[in-house]
Structure 1
Amino acid sequence: MPSNPKRIDVIRLDSNMSIKKIDHDSLQWLSPSAAPFHIAGFAWFDKERKYRRLPSSPALPLPTAVDELANCTAGGQIRFRTNSSRLSLKVKLRGPSDMYHMPATGQSGIDCYLGDPGNQHYLSTTRFDPACTEYEAEMYNWGEKREFAVTLNFPLYQGVEEVWIGVDPDATIGAAPSYASDKPIVIYGTSITQGGCATRPGMAYPNILSRSIPMEFINLGFSGNGKGEPEVARTIAEIANPAMLILDYEANSGTIEEISTTLPQFIHLYRERHPDVPIVVISKIQYSGDRYYEKMQSLHEGRKKVQEETVERLRREGDANIHFVDGSNLLGEDAEECTVDGVHPTDLGFIRMAKSLEPIIRELL
Structure 2
Amino acid sequence: MTRSHGGVDPTKLDANMRLTAASDTTLAWRSPLEEPFRLCGFPWLEKDRVYRRLPVSPSHSLRPAVDSLANCTAGGQIRFRTDAASVVLKAELAGPANMYHMPSTGQCGFDCYIGSFGEQAFVGTTRMKLTETTVEYPLYELKGVPRIMRTVTIHFPLYQGVKSVWIGLDADAAVEAPEPFIDDRRIIFYGTSITQGGCASRPGMAFTNILSHRFHREFINLGFSGNGKGEPELAHLIAQIERPALLALDYAANVTAEQYIATLPEFIRIYRSVHPDTPILVISKNPYAQEQINTAMRERRIVCRDFGRELVEKLQEGGDRNIAFQDGDVLLGEDFEECTVDGSHPNDLGFRRMADGLTPILHALLP
- Shorter chain as normaliser: what TM range? over 0.9
Name the residue aligned to 1:26: 26
Name the residue aligned to 2:241: 239
Q: Distance in 2 between matches of 1:56 and 1:191?
A: 21
Counterpart pick for 1:211 among 193, 199, 213:
213
Deviation at 1:7, TM superposition (A): 3.4
Name the residue aligned to 1:325: 326
Name the residue aligned to 1:270: 271
Does the 8 A contact of 1:114 with 1:149 survive in 2? yes
The question of 1:146 aligning with 2:148 is answered: yes
Deviation at 1:23, TM superposition (A): 4.2
- What does 1:291-330 correspond to in 2, within 5 Å? 291-330=292-331
Partner amino acid, structure 2, of 1:115:
G
Mean alpha-carbon deviation: is it higher for 51-60 or for 138-147? 138-147
Partner amino acid, structure 1, of 2:165:
V
Does the 8 A contact of 1:278 with 1:321 survive in 2? yes
Name the residue aligned to 1:130: 130
Partner amino acid, structure 1, of 2:251:
Y
Name the residue aligned to 1:197: 199
- Local SS of the residue matching 2:321: coil
- Local SS of the residue matching 1:220: strand
Name the residue aligned to 1:72: 72
Does the 8 A contact of 1:101 with 1:340 survive in 2? yes
Does the 8 A contact of 2:77 with 2:156 survive in 1? yes
Gaps of 5+ in 2: none
Name the residue aligned to 1:8: 8
Name the residue aligned to 1:55: 55
- TM-score, structure 2 as length reference: 0.97
TM superposition outliers: structure 1 runs of 4+ over 3 Å: 4-7
Partner amino acid, structure 1, of 2:60:
L
Name the residue aligned to 1:119: 119
Does the 8 A contact of 2:287 with 2:298 survive in 1? no
The question of 1:253 aligning with 2:255 is answered: yes
Deviations 1:276-324 (A, max 9, x none): 0000000001111111101001111111111111111111111111111
- Local SS of the residue matching 1:62: coil
Deviation at 1:253, TM superposition (A): 2.1
Does the 8 A contact of 1:54 with 1:70 survive in 2? yes
The question of 1:356 aligning with 2:357 is answered: yes
Partner amino acid, structure 2, of 1:175:
A
Does the 8 A contact of 2:284 with 2:327 survive in 1? yes
Q: Distance in 1 between matches of 2:100 and 2:339?
A: 18
Deviations 1:38-57 (A, max 9, x none): 00011111111110000010
- Local SS of the residue matching 2:315: helix
Deviation at 1:25, TM superposition (A): 3.5
Q: Distance in 2 between matches of 1:358 and 1:274?
A: 23
- Count of residue pairs brought into register by the alignment: 362
The question of 1:346 aligning with 2:354 is answered: no
- What does 1:221-240 correspond to in 2, within 5 Å? 221-240=223-242
- Local SS of the residue matching 2:235: helix
- TM-score, structure 1 as length reference: 0.97
Partner amino acid, structure 1, of 2:317:
R
Deviation at 1:22, TM superposition (A): 2.0
Deviation at 1:86, TM superposition (A): 0.5
Does the 8 A contact of 1:24 with 1:166 survive in 2? no
Deviations 1:234-262 (A, max 9, x none): 001000110000001110122x2211110
Identical-residue share of aligned pairs (%): 52
- Note the aligned Cα RMSD (angstroms): 1.2
Does the 8 A contact of 1:339 with 1:349 survive in 2? yes
Does the 8 A contact of 1:94 with 1:159 survive in 2? yes
Name the residue aligned to 1:284: 285
Gaps of 5+ in 1: none
